[in-house]
Amino acid sequence: MSQRDRKTLVTGGAGFLGSHLCDRLIERGEDVLCVDNFFTGTKRNITRLLGNPRFELMRHDVTFPLYVEVDRIHNLACPASPVHYQHDPVQTTKTSVHGAINMLGLAKRVKARILQASTSEVYGDPEVHPQPESYWGRVNCIGPRSCYDEGKRCAETLFFDYQRQHGLDIKVVRIFNTYGPRMHPNDGRVVSNFIVQALRGEDVTLFGDGSQTRSFCYVDDLIEGMLRMMDSPNGFAGPVNLGNPGELTMQELAEKVLRATDSKSRLVKKPLPQDDPRQRKPDIALATEKLEWQPKVSLDDGLQETVAYFRRLLSE
Ligand code: NAD
Ligand code: UDP
Ligand code: UDP
């Protein structure tokens, strides 16, 4: 089937990553059905697409069954920031687990290829560094992050069981911290928090001693990796890590953001949230081998784009 005849469902399509994915799918000529309950997503993210005849928006919660006819499914519906996923943790688990069951049931009925947006959180607070896909992870199953981590782990289990039990054509990507324009300004994630605080001249809140590490991938690179995985040959299901291996401490990130925004904000220390992973960095050898993918955008360039986005947003 050519891309022009293809109908693709994106759940969570009005969110940060989902809206960029919808843009790219429309650009390459696919028909896109965007499904979202607007918990953390917003119509603003997809305004540009609303008049496009190839784009359709449906308000729907994936924890309820969905009967539509599509060829491919990108399952992204799930709040991704700790502040939002901990707001209603039972709903977070339902979204990951019931949402996966419904989307897998849909994929089974219409024989669609289905991709799951999983996460580096399946590795928990890792003892293996950097994290390869073969590492099983170190996750607390009863802590405040568990609704997200265990929900996503269970979703992966369901994907592989639907593959084994029903022969579904599945793809699983484990996304590491990604940032860029259209992150929610109050979303609580570190890049958006630091930039918004710095631009407003408010204190920049560094949790713990700031020595914990993360590795940040620019959104355009991430979406390219997702599309390559969705287009990869039958039989390669993953899971495959997608992220930028450039690792830095949160203290270093805060200093970078202060420079990029030319801000006079102060850095203030706040308590480290429970179960906050000490370190995180993707091993992307598998993505490089199977998808010929690696990130291209440097953190400095990506931060510039993101700062410019938030400057515009805050001045409106
Ligand atoms: P986001 O919060 O901006 O987007 C999630 C979208 O899902 C929102 O539009 C939200 O309204 C929607 N949603 C939530 N619950 C829903 C439900 N029950 N039914 C329908 N829609 C629902 O987050 P994001 O950063 O765009 O993340 C997208 C996906 O990627 C998530 O599954 C997330 O777990 C995964 N991911 C993101 C990152 C990252 O760094 N951005 C890292 C790892 C994994
Ligand atoms: N489902 C859905 N859309 C469909 C087909 C199924 O939302 O087009 C849901 C359905 O409600 C069911 C779930 O997906 O609860 C799992 O479907 P499956 O066929 O795997 O299981 P069963 O229907 O036998 O429980
Ligand atoms: N963080 C921080 N200040 C903030 C928000 C987050 O220092 O205002 C830290 C947080 O404790 C974690 C890292 O930044 O160590 C990344 O947090 P985020 O919520 O963005 O993602 P995750 O913890 O899920 O990787």
Query: Which residue from 105, 142, 258, 271 is spatially nearest to 194, judged by alpha carbons?
Result: 258
Nearest to 24 by CA among 173, 309, 231: 231
CA of 212 to the centre of ligand 3 (A): 9
Joined together, the tokens standing for residue 265 give 């904000």
pLDDT of amino acid 316: 85
Residue 4 has pLDDT above 90, yes or no: no
pLDDT in tens, 91-103: 999 999 999 999 9
Q: Which two tokens stand for residue 304?
A: 């510039």
Task: Tell me the two tokens of residue 127.
Answer: 């003892």
pLDDT at 168 over 80: yes
Nearest residue by C-alpha to atom 34 in ligand 1? 80
pLDDT digits (tens, 9 = 90+) for 114-166: 999 999 999 999 999 999 999 999 999 999 999 999 999 999 999 999 999 99
List the residue whose alpha carbon is closest to atom 3 of ligand 2: 106
Q: Which of 62, 106, 165, 168 to mutate to test the pocket of ligand 2 (most atoms within 8 A of CB)?
A: 106
Determine the distance separating the centroid of ligand 1 and the alpha carbon of 262, expressed in angstroms: 31
Measured from the Cβ of residue 37, the count of other Cβ atoms closer than 10 Å reads: 19
Spatial distance between the Cα atoms of 34 and 277, rounded to a whole number of angstroms:
32
**For residue 16, what are its two tokens?**
């940060």
Q: Does the reported pTM lie above 0.95? A: yes
Residues 6+ apart with CB under 8 A from 201: 263, 264, 265
Ligand 2 site, residue 165, Cβ cutoff 6 A:
no
Distance (angstroms) between ligand 1 centre and the Cα of 157 equals: 19
Mean pLDDT of 53-76: 98
The residues, ordered by sequence, that sit 6+ positions from 207 with a Cβ below 8 Å of its Cβ are 250, 269, 270, 271, 272, 273, 276
Is there a contact between 20 and 220 (Cβ–Cβ < 8 Å)?
yes
pLDDT tens per residue, range 173-230: 999 999 999 999 998 999 999 999 999 999 999 999 999 999 999 999 999 999 999 9
Atom of ligand 3 lying closest to residue 207 CA: 7
Separation CA 169–CA 289 (nearest Å): 20
Residues 266 and 232 sit within 8 Å (Cβ to Cβ): no
Atom of ligand 3 at shortest range from CA of 204? 8
CB of 305 closer than 8 Å to CB of 182: no
Q: Which of 193, 216, 201 is nearest to 84 (CA)?
A: 193
Most ligand 3 atoms within 8 A of CB, residue of 250, 256, 265, 278 to mutate: 250
Residue 138 structure tokens: 């170190």
